Amino acid sequence: MTRKFVLALAVGTLCALAVPAASSAATLTMSGSTSIYPLAVALAKGYPGNTAFRVLQGGSDIGVNDVARGRVTYGLSSRDPQASDPKGLVFNRIARDGVCISTNPANRLANISRATVQAIFSGQVRNWKDVPGSTISGPIDLISRTPASGTADAFQNIFMGQSRRVAGNASQKASNGLVQQAVRSSKTAIAYLDFKFTAGTSVVPFNGVPCTLRNAKSAQYEGTRNFWMVTRGKPTGAAASFLSWVRGSSGQRIVARGWVPA
């Protein structure tokens, strides 16, 4: 088996993973969700053989549009299919994960209810003194994701519902990593983000249940969503083989190390 070498490159808010292999090997490309990126890296590293991989981040909508235009082999989407998606796409579920509510460690909340999440993120409540359990006061620093984000779509569907929208004054970030940095640096911040990006923040239990991998796997935590590899039609050749491996027992063992198996 050809040994693989992994190189991570940062370009603005985008990152690429390149796994070079022999020149005769197939090269599979992916783009999209910043939430799925760590899993895509783990799967690329674990795949046997000499297949080469290139993975780009940018948001779920970008991944869906890239695969629809034939720019990549797979679009990585952490949001579910939408009626507005280009025709002919196939959403292949590969995993599930959790979306957490996080604050700065200077303001640890013991719990947050759905009603409080909706009141804060819709802008109805704007000062921490009006939030149950808050240890600080002052204007709430509301942090959200850009519209291309699958995490933003999942947060809207799971936490906000159809009747509430995130306030327009929320600071929009292009990736989970940038959200994580913003929460770490502002003691009045609150945000939602993928649970692989919560280090250095205070993760708030939602409706009394901590946002953890164990609770996501047991379905006790309500804030879970799907991870998809999107293809343009049914894949063939090397693309089909890798997707089959990801969804099979070997790939799902890798998923189970840090995510919820599909």
The segments of the chain whose pLDDT lies below 50 read 1-16, 18-24
Is 212 found in the same domain as 106? yes
| pTM exceeds 0.75, yes or no | yes
Q: What is the pLDDT of residue 162?
A: 86
CATH of the domain at 235: 3.40.190.10
Instruction: Write down the pLDDT at residue 26.
Output: 86
pLDDT at 61: 95
Q: Provide the residue type at 256 as one letter.
A: A
- At 14 the pLDDT is 41
Same structural domain for residues 68 and 50? yes
Predicted confidence at residue 43, as pLDDT, reads 98
- The per-residue pLDDT for 160 is 96
User: Residue 186 has what pLDDT?
Assistant: 98
Residues 88 and 101 in one domain: no
Q: Do 59 and 86 share a domain, yes or no?
A: yes
In a domain, 252, yes or no: yes
What is the span of the domain harbouring residue 235? 7-94+227-261
User: Which pLDDT score is estimated for 6?
Assistant: 41
**For residue 2, is it within any domain?**
no
- How do residues 113-154 score in pLDDT, each as one tens digit? 999 999 999 999 999 999 999 999 999 999 999 999 999 999
Report the pLDDT value the prediction gives residue 5, as an integer from 0 to 100: 36
pLDDT score recorded for residue 20 = 47
